[in-house]
Amino acid sequence: MYINENSKVIVQGMTGKQGMFHTQIMLNYGTKIVAGVTPGKGGQQVHDIPVFNKMKEAIQETGADTSIIFVPARFILSAAMESLNAGINMTCIITENVPVFDMIQLVEKAKEKGLFLIGPNCPGMLIPDKIKLGIMPNNMCHYGDVAVISKSGTLSYEITKAIGNSDIGVSAYIGIGGDPVRGTTMQEAVAYYSEDPKTKIIVLIGEIGSDEEEKTAELIKYNVSKPVIAYIAGKSAPEGKRMGHAGAIISGDIGTAKGKIKALKDSGVLIANTPWEVPQVIKEIL
């Protein structure tokens, strides 16, 4: 299980400006935040929540199983490694500009321990009306049966809001981020929600760069029976130019929007030509 309404959350870096700000917003949404962790700040309180020096102390006192990290990029390796070594089920890294080699080590550690990792440079996860683990808007949608999986942050907010405005419910929103090395991949998220009994339809928001959508298409073709809808951003992007995310660069035929759309179509995925078509395509299925 990634997260649910009973997840007990630690905010790593809660005493910093971003940590304090987003802790309050997540609390307002109903997220069960039980502790903060900032080395050297143990004994303090933020929003009436106790702050600890170490993850193990916080877990022993609160029974937490989930973490969200708001610390500068240079501290991510030590903070996330501490979370994984302490056995936290889901560690969410919001921070951008995390060194690639640091992420390689963290991804290997998560796999070694059988734990979930999402990010870096991502908006996090949301189960509407139940738990918000991230920085996405509070009012995008209400609970339902469509899972939204996205590499893009801002675009995914727009599409998820459009889905919500069309009176379609969302079972989960997961912003996996667009960095070349990260925790949860699109394939892994699709595999997870293809087995989720509360999810009936999966929406993918992809973008140019890498071959992740092509690999996901192959997974869908042979292993996913649920309807999948996709929107691919970057159809007019010039070749070889980096666009936004670190992973959004194309070279030759690899990573192009055209190639991704073809691979997805060939796997039975329904393609939305614009972001605003996504709710229309969902309604055609429902």
Residues designated as active site: 245
- Per DSSP, helices labelled H in the chain are 17-29, 55-62, 73-85, 100-113, 154-165, 186-194, 212-223, 257-266, 277-285
Q: To the nearest 10°, the Cα dihedral for 250, 212, 152, 241?
A: -10
Q: Which of 115, 116, 107, 153 is nearest to 134 (CA)?
A: 153
> 């877990």: which residue's tokens?
59
**Long-range Cβ contact pairs of 38-46 (< 8 A, separation 24 or more):** 38/12, 38/13, 38/14, 41/15, 44/15, 46/14, 46/15, 46/19, 46/20
What is the per-residue burial (b if ≥16 Cβ within 10 Å, else e) of 242-251? ebbbbbbbbe
CB-based contact 257:138 (threshold 8 Å): no
Q: To the nearest 10°, the Cα dihedral for 220, 223, 227, 230?
A: -10
CA–CA–CA angle 107, 247, 250 (5° rounding): 140
What residues does 143 pair with on adjacent strands? 170
CA 284 to chain CA centroid, nearest Å = 27
d(CA 150, CA 170): 13
What residues does 254 pair with on adjacent strands? 251
